[in-house]
Amino acid sequence: MGEHAVDKYNLTEGGILGKLLLVALPIMGSQFMQMAYNLIDMFWLGKVGSDAVASSGAAGMYMWLSFGFMAIGMMGASIGVSQSLGGKDTPAALGFSQNALLIAIVLGLLYGLVMLFFSRELAGFFNFKEANVAADAAAYLKIVALSIPATFVSSVIVGTFNASGNSRPPFIITAIGLGANVILDPVFILVLGMGVKGAAIATVIAQLIGCIGLIIAIAWSRGRPFERYSLRTLRIEKEKILLMLKWSIPIGLESLLFCFLTMLTSRIEASFGADAMAAGKVGSQIESLSWLIGGGFGAALVSFIGQNYGAKKWDRIHRGVRVSACAMAAWGLLITALLFFAGGTLFSFFLNEPKLVVLGTRYLRIFALAQLVINLEAVAAGAFKGTGRTVIPSAISIISNVIRPVLALFLSRTSLGLTGVWIAVVATTNMRGIWICLWYLFSKKEKQTEVSQ
């Protein structure tokens, strides 16, 4: 990068809120557009029927499960690149990114092959009563498997850009991919009459467009983090790979278990029928307006803290966390009010069947009670991850999430029924978030003393 670009994206100098927003806003935009991918699918599939929504929702759980493996390369790049750039060691930053890309390629190929060859068994996990729902879910998985390696590669490039302080190129390229999805979804789903399979094909094309765009950006764009970026210049560095695995495996394991335990909860949810699954899936996509934005700010905080950690600017780290907490608390309260008072209106935009609107409104009012904690948790977890302390938030998350399906099963067998499943999710979400936030507050002074010695 040129000197001007280095100064512009250097997160160790300048106003804290301005630098955080410089990174956070494009990431939030990218996260919002990622949510939009799913919402667009839900919108057009909703025109086909609730069975189609349930099928894509079930298949989408395995896309979510892939994030656990994807996080190993992405978080390794995010932490390694940001800390190295903060310490003014550009060659080390390049080495972290390229070795993370190698990890992503291997894991992406393996995961894609599993989805391709075991699609029927994976769809059968949910034990749907409706045979057509399971068949459509299996077809979706088999098609989308073709884009999995590309999404893994994309995640590392995005993590590298974010860590460098320049999150704008991924945002622009995500917007291009979303545009392709907007155009292709109605064509494949309705015009060509392909339903769930059409949604999968549109997703694959959009993801491949995004991956190609990101490869071009990191190799040739004006704001690229490194002058030269190519696997031909890759030096396999065992030490860097092991360090990235140390950082990212706890995060990946957390994501894998979170998704798997959520799938168990979804299976309990699915026992109430396809309507329950469809209401929960659409409701979760609407709710993701909150946690994707919070997660985007948390990702920006990882880059901000990583660079300042490498530069040993401890006071700036703590001020960055305080600013982030205030911003995300305001956002969480806003979304709480929106979901509680206007959830039914939002839900009816995607599924307008009266019985589903009733279920969706109930879902969103229950989940409104977790939004403040979810957003503050994103800040505390980002603070831990930016310094490479990934075990603490991951361990807390795993313990809390293990409780979820057990509590959901218990409450589902009471008079609460389906509502009990959703209450269990909110209760364990709040427990996890409060625990992580309190741990960060209690450990902050101890860690500050340790790193100052």
Residue 274: which pLDDT band, with cuts at 50, 70 and 90? confident
Which of 242-246, 258-262, 409-413, 430-434 has the weakest average pLDDT? 258-262
Q: What percent of the chain has pLDDT over 90?
A: 57
How high does pLDDT run on average in the chain?
A: 88
Which of 198-202, 346-350, 386-390 has the weakest average pLDDT? 346-350
The whole-number pLDDT of residue 452 equals: 46
Which one has a higher pLDDT value, 379 or 65? 379
Which one has a higher pLDDT value, 323 or 228? 323
pLDDT at 2 over 50: no
* Averaged pLDDT, 235-241: 91
The whole-number pLDDT of residue 447 equals: 55
pLDDT at 303 over 90: yes
Positive or negative, the Cα torsion across 253, 20, 158, 314? Answer: negative
Q: What percent of the chain has pLDDT over 70?
A: 96
pLDDT at 3 over 60: no
CA–CA gap between residue 433 and residue 396 (Å, rounded): 9
CA–CA gap between residue 164 and residue 388 (Å, rounded): 16
The whole-number pLDDT of residue 80 equals: 95
**Which residues have C-beta within 8 Å of that of residue 449, sequence separation ≥ 6?**
none
The whole-number pLDDT of residue 305 equals: 95
Which one has a higher pLDDT value, 255 or 288? 255
The whole-number pLDDT of residue 445 equals: 60
The whole-number pLDDT of residue 449 equals: 52
The number of angstroms, rounded, from the C-alpha of 396 to the middle of its chain's C-alpha atoms is: 18
Name residue 224's amino acid: R
* Averaged pLDDT, 142-160: 95
